[in-house]
Amino acid sequence: MRFRDWAARVMLIFFMLAALILALLIGSVRNSSSNINTSNPDTKVLGESPQTQFQSAQKIEEQQPKLPQLSKLLTIPQLPPSSVQTNQTLTRYSTTAAFAQYKPSLASATINPSNYGERYSKDVNGVLLKNQPIIVLHETTNSASSAVNFFQTNNVDENVQASYHVLIALDGMVIYLVPPDKRAFGAGNSVFNGANGVETVQTNPDLPPSVNNFAYHVSLETPPDAWGKRNIKEHTGYTEVQYDSLAWLIAQSQVPDERITTHRAVDVANGKVDPLSFDFDRFFNKLHSFRELKTLNLG
């Protein structure tokens, strides 16, 4: 074989090998590019992670709302019935046109479960409970926001746990805290003296009896001049809209006037005096304008 022919064949083989190597390199680059696009960590961070974080923050906010954010309108809760039935007639309260015209601001706050419980059907001795409901009026002794913050605290000490069913702010806002079918811890050692005699219920053998099991606790925000003050005998009193909202709330219940009382009246041991400077005449005038007794013929 001539040298020229041998050199030509070597050059041909070299070019073929070079072409093959180039083709393999191009294929490898394309595969690498494809893998980067399908597993790009930036895509996951921008698409999935922020959504998960947002949902978590939203859940926490719903579980622990702050008072300035309270704005959700609620269905009006119904208090336990307390009607008077005789023979073929039933006497019940009905709301009036004045009630319908009054529209208070409504809000709610989620409080810690350590500060309220279930209503019991029997006492510690197994005796069936038949107490008709009462409404106990309180005041916060400080701002509404401080009261809500305290109720949102996990209080493991049973002697510290406390709550109301409803709080009425200085501007008349009605803030729902504990559902009416639950037992709020509004009063410690307490009794109610009414037409049926002395009423109280012991549900915990380690704690004194109280009215909590059959009470609906409503508190008024204390006026600023008395915030944090103790051993005072009076203050500037409650706002007009607080009386309006209180009457509006209670007008929806079937709890009679004589079973509306105060923390001062039911307290036994701790010297509670709230609500200070409460004007019962003013309150009952408003309540009677918002509801009236009607007799229904059942026969």
52 has a pLDDT exceeding 50: no
CB 201, CB 243: distance < 8 Å: no
13-27, 54-68, 157-171: lowest mean pLDDT where? 54-68
Give the pLDDT of residue 74.
36
Query: What share of the chain has pLDDT > 90, as a percent?
Result: 63
292 has a pLDDT exceeding 60: yes
DSSP-derived 3-state class of residue 184: strand
Nearest-angstrom CA–CA distance, 69 and 102:
23
Q: How confident is the model at residue 90 (pLDDT cuts 50, 70, 90)?
A: confident
Give the pLDDT of residue 79.
54
Give the pLDDT of residue 72.
35
2-6, 28-32, 166-170: lowest mean pLDDT where? 28-32
10 has a pLDDT exceeding 50: yes
70 has a pLDDT exceeding 60: no
Q: How confident is the prediction for the chain on average, in pLDDT? A: 79
Residues 164-197 as b/e (b if ≥16 CB within 10 A, e otherwise) read: bbbbbbbebbbbbbbebeebbbbbbebbbeeeee
Nearest-angstrom CA–CA distance, 33 and 23:
16
Nearest-angstrom CA–CA distance, 81 and 214:
11
Q: Strand pairing partners for 125?
A: none
21-25, 99-103, 115-119, 285-289: lowest mean pLDDT where? 21-25
